[in-house]
Amino acid sequence: MKLYKSIFHSAIISASIVAASLPVRAAIVTYTDRDAFLAALSSSSTDNYNDLTTGFPSSPLSRTISGYTYDAVATNGLHIGSAGGSQVLSTDDNESLTLNFTAGAPTAVGGYFFNIDDSLNLLNRVITVTVNPGASAQSVVTGSATNFFGWLDDSGTPFTSLVIAPGAGGFPAAFATVDDLVLGRAAPASVPGPLPLIGAATAFGFSRRLRSRIAAARPRA
């Protein structure tokens, strides 16, 4: 009986060693501070829209920055202009602005998101931004052109799209707006170090000895 208790205790230790060797499950991390977001990236590129002239480009509008390409899409068209002291990308109607990432496979995306009216004035209205629709969303009432949201996936899974939804109702109408869009790559998720791997190898060898001990301890007919 004491032998079986010892074997059982050894089995628990073996299982614990193996479990310790497994990597931690990755997740999407959300940021509301731009500096903290940028500090978490291994590399990034920023689209500040300064190369665009004021006007109403057709949708979709294809944008290329260092390492990445994306399409800006709005059903009723887009609007380029100066708001909050900076050149911005907006819609030309009270509707969502969608950014589809077509090349570069970013694992991090962020930017300044807010609402403007049809005269490019800032509106103190709800802005909601969803990354990979259904994965993670942020929503806040803001009249600031420096309202930041950012996301990174530390598993290395690329983001495919981002949807910016303006506040509904009210007068004047709100137009979803983005500035200083950041696309980048998060530092890769941690992997098992040498010690856990050695632990797993030790556990494997130990389990063989454990099976031998169990077989030897069984009552013989």
Write down the pLDDT at residue 5: 46
Query: Which element (helix H / strand E) includes 46?
Result: strand 41-47
Q: Given pLDDT bands bounded at 50, 70 and 90, which one contains residue 208?
A: low
Angle between helix axes 194-217 and 2-20 (nearest 10 degrees) is 160
Lowest mean pLDDT among 139-143, 182-186, 190-194: 190-194
- The domain limits of the chain are 28-186
Please give the Cα distance from 143 to 114 (Å, whole number). 7
99 vs 128: CA distance, rounded Å: 14
Cβ proximity of 133 and 160 under 8 Å: no
pLDDT of residue 215: 55
Provide mean pLDDT across the span 168-183.
93
User: 28-186 sits in which CATH class?
Assistant: mainly beta
Mean pLDDT to the nearest integer, 81-87? 95
pLDDT at 130 over 80: yes
Residue 39 three-state SS: helix
| Percentage of the residues of the chain whose pLDDT score is greater than 90 | 66
More confidently predicted of 135 and 184 = 184
Please name the amino acid found at residue 11. A
Q: For 103-115, how does the pLDDT look when each residue is reduced to its tens digit (9 = 90+)?
A: 999 999 999 999 9
Tokens of 155: 């598993």
- Quick one: tokens of 74? 């709005």
Q: Collect contacts of 154-157 with beta carbons under 8 A, ≥24 apart.
A: 154/26, 154/27, 154/29, 154/107, 154/186, 154/187, 154/188, 154/189, 155/26, 155/27, 155/189, 156/26, 156/107, 156/186, 156/188, 156/189, 157/26, 157/107
Kindly write down the DSSP assignment for every residue of 181-209, as one continuous string: EEEEEEPPPP---HHHHHHHHHHHHHHHH
Supply the pTM of this predicted model.
Answer: 0.75
